[in-house]
């Protein structure tokens, strides 16, 4: 059973998630806010275990080989120079990698990131790849990737150092990292055509989804929360992502349903209730349409 199953309805902060997975902090005296370490294929695949459960931002710079992820149903391959950005609740899973895959991964607690973000325009920095490029990655030219890597390596080294002020130094270096990221982001050519208002609305919609998708499957709810009409929200989401509002909701619903089927002993009726389907037949029909198999078949042999 998944170690995160008992908290499927909420998220763990970085410290809670790390202790759940590893048992011990990464180093003595860790404050649970930031950690940076080298990663390989085996380590990276463990990230799938925390999908949807961890309230932290993750930045992974690919250094060698390749890594394949699935985002909103599409397969994206990351190569050296690509910076993969994971946002809390983002529907992303690791599919495969080359045997020689290597990277460096920076994890930062969501609350700390928001606090630091007041200085660095954090929300725009981390959401911009998703909004402008429709995928959670940036491709950095060699020189820019080297600058980002240099900061990440300093964070990694300070994390394991004996410096008595390392926690504060690491936080300052994280701010430097965000400024570097802000400076080097690759903006899509058609950004001028997309109004700041539409981008803000789409970002606000993405932030609403992870905490509301299970209870609210309807477009009017999200439109109401954003103070716009359902028609305008549908237009904004379609223009910014190429997908519909319902597509976004359904992908999170099926991802959560899969997680509960894999990780808990909840039966179809309980899962249907947790995800606020009208009844079991409605849930089963939805799940079968999205995955091609019934919930019972999926549980017997997760695909």
d(CA 289, CA 237): 23
d(CA 244, CA 108): 30
Residue 128: band (very low, low, confident or very high) from pLDDT cuts 50, 70, 90: low
- The structure tokens 């931002």 sit at 57
Question: What average pLDDT does the segment 105-115 reach?
Answer: 86
Any idea where the domains of the chain sit in the sequence? 5-190, 194-300
Give strand pairing partners of 203.
none
| Pair 60, 84: CB distance under 8 Å | yes
Residue 153 has pLDDT above 70, yes or no: yes
Mean pLDDT estimate for the chain? 84
d(CA 152, CA 90): 23
Query: pTM, whole model, 2 decimals?
Result: 0.59
**What's the gap between Cα 178 and its chain centre?**
17
Instruction: Report the pLDDT value the prediction gives residue 189, as an integer from 0 to 100.
Output: 44
d(CA 62, CA 67): 8
| Pair 57, 13: CB distance under 8 Å | no
- The structure tokens 């103070």 sit at 227
DSSP character string of 185-209 = ----GGGGGS-HHHHHHHHHHHHHH
Residues of the chain above pLDDT 70, percent: 85
DSSP character string of 49-106 = GGTTTEEEEEEEEEEES-EEEEETTEEEEE-TTEEEEE-TT--EEEEEE-TT-EEEEE
Out of 49-53, 208-212, 272-276, least confident range? 49-53
| Pair 147, 184: CB distance under 8 Å | yes
- Give the β-pairing of 82-86 and 12-13: unpaired
d(CA 42, CA 60): 14
Instruction: Report the pLDDT value the prediction gives residue 4, as an integer from 0 to 100.
Output: 46
- Domain 194-300: CATH class, spelled out: mainly alpha
Residue 139: band (very low, low, confident or very high) from pLDDT cuts 50, 70, 90: confident
Instruction: Report the pLDDT value the prediction gives residue 10, as an integer from 0 to 100.
Output: 60
Q: Which of 49, 42, 52, 39 is nearest to 84 (CA)?
A: 39
- Whether 5-190 and 194-300 share one fold: the answer is no
CATH of 5-190, one of 3.50.50.60, 2.60.120.280, 1.10.2020.10, 2.60.40.420: 2.60.120.280
């Amino acid at each position: 059973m998944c170690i995160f199953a008992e908290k499927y309805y909420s998220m763990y902060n970085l410290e809670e998630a790390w202790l759940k997975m590893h048992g011990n902090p990464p180093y003595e005296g860790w404050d649970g806010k930031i950690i940076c370490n080298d990663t390989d294929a085996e380590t990276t695949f463990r990230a799938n275990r925390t999908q949807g459960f961890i309230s932290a931002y993750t930045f992974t710079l690919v250094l060698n080989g390749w890594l394949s992820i699935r985002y909103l149903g599409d397969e994206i391959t990351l190569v050296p120079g690509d910076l993969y950005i994971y946002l809390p609740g983002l529907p992303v899973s690791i599919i495969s990698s080359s045997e020689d895959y290597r990277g460096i991964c920076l994890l930062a607690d969501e609350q700390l990131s928001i606090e630091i973000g007041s200085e660095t325009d954090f929300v725009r920095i981390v959401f911009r790849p998703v909004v402008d490029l429709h995928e959670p990655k940036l491709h950095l030219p060699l020189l820019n990737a080297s600058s980002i890597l240099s900061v990440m390596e300093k964070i990694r080294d300070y994390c394991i150092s004996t410096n008595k002020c390392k926690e504060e130094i690491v936080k300052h270096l994280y701010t430097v990292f965000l400024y570097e990221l802000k400076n080097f982001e690759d903006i899509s050519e058609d950004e001028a055509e997309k109004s700041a208002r539409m981008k803000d609305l789409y970002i606000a919609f993405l932030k609403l989804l992870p905490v509301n998708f299970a209870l609210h499957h309807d477009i009017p709810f999200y439109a109401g929360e954003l103070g716009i009409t359902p028609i305008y929200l549908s237009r904004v989401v379609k223009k910014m992502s190429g997908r519909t509002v319902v597509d976004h909701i359904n992908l999170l619903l099926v991802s959560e349903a899969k997680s509960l089927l894999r990780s808990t002993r909840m039966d179809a009726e309980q899962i249907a209730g947790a995800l606020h389907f009208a009844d079991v037949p409605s849930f089963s029909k939805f799940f079968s349409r999205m995955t091609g198999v019934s919930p019972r078949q999926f549980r017997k042999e997760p695909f």
